[in-house]
Copies of this chain bind each other. A is one copy, B any other.
Amino acid sequence: MSTIARTQTPQGGRTRRAILEKAVDIASAEGLEGLTIGRLATELSMSKSGLIGHFGSKEELQLAVVETAREIFLESVVMPAMKADEGAPRLLGLCSHWLAYARAERFRGGCFFSAAAAEFDGRPGPVRDRIVQLMREWLDGLEAVISDAKRLGHLHRDVDAKQLAFELHALEMGANWAFQLFGDREAPARAHRAIRERLAAVSLLLVEQ
């Protein structure tokens, strides 16, 4: 109140971080609604009240879980892909890292956002709004990278960026779907093959690997 720069919250919110790590894991498998405060507290050997004290309400916990999943997605998929050169290499990098991330089972239930989007597409509220916003950002990002590739002469200039982004994203989700539902370990490779051939058909460069 007195000083402008408040002291950092003690121990840097380690408990909060541990809660969220476990929560994303559970939510990817059981859903954000199936994620229960009691269940989460038990798995962390905490009390329900001590746990929810970090967030205030279940809805705010869910929102924090979404943010955490976003951070993990960014560092698992987007940041590694950004090391690749602009244009087609970066586009292929985004797709490859996405498939690797889904295949690596970073979370128990596969891609968090595939599950969350399906769960909340029919439930209004701030959680849904945030998920929609993040998915929109992802698709817009894909589209922007495709446009870059066109500008750089990597892809044909008559490629419909929005259309191609839709198709690539659909193939990625299809891979996660088959991997999770059937345990089909070949699904990511199938999606990767489809993506490579789809890009090769509109590419002006040799598609590497």
Contacts and interface: CB of A to CB of B under 8 A. Distances in A.
Contacts of A131: 181
A83 B46 CA distance: 60
Interface in A35-52: none
A31 interface: yes
Interface string A89-106: 000000000000000000
Interface stretch (A62-70, A73-81, A165-173): A165-173
A2 B1 CA distance: 84
Contacts of A162: 190
A187 B131 CA distance: 18
A187 B201 CA distance: 22
Given A117-B177, A136-B182, A171-B170, A30 B193 contact: no
A102 to B, nearest CB: 12
Interface string A123-142: 10000000110011000000
B180 A174 contact: no
B174 A123 contact: no
A163 B121 contact: no
A53 interface: no
Q: Which of A33, A123, A181 has the most CB of B within 10 A?
A: A181
Contacts of A171: 167, 170-171, 174
A29 to B, nearest CB: 4
Interface stretch (A5-13, A16-24, A107-115, A148-156): A107-115
Interface of A: 28-31, 33-34, 108-110, 114-115, 117-119, 121-123, 131-132, 135-136, 162-163, 166-167, 169-171, 173-175, 177-178, 180-182, 187, 190-191, 193-194, 201
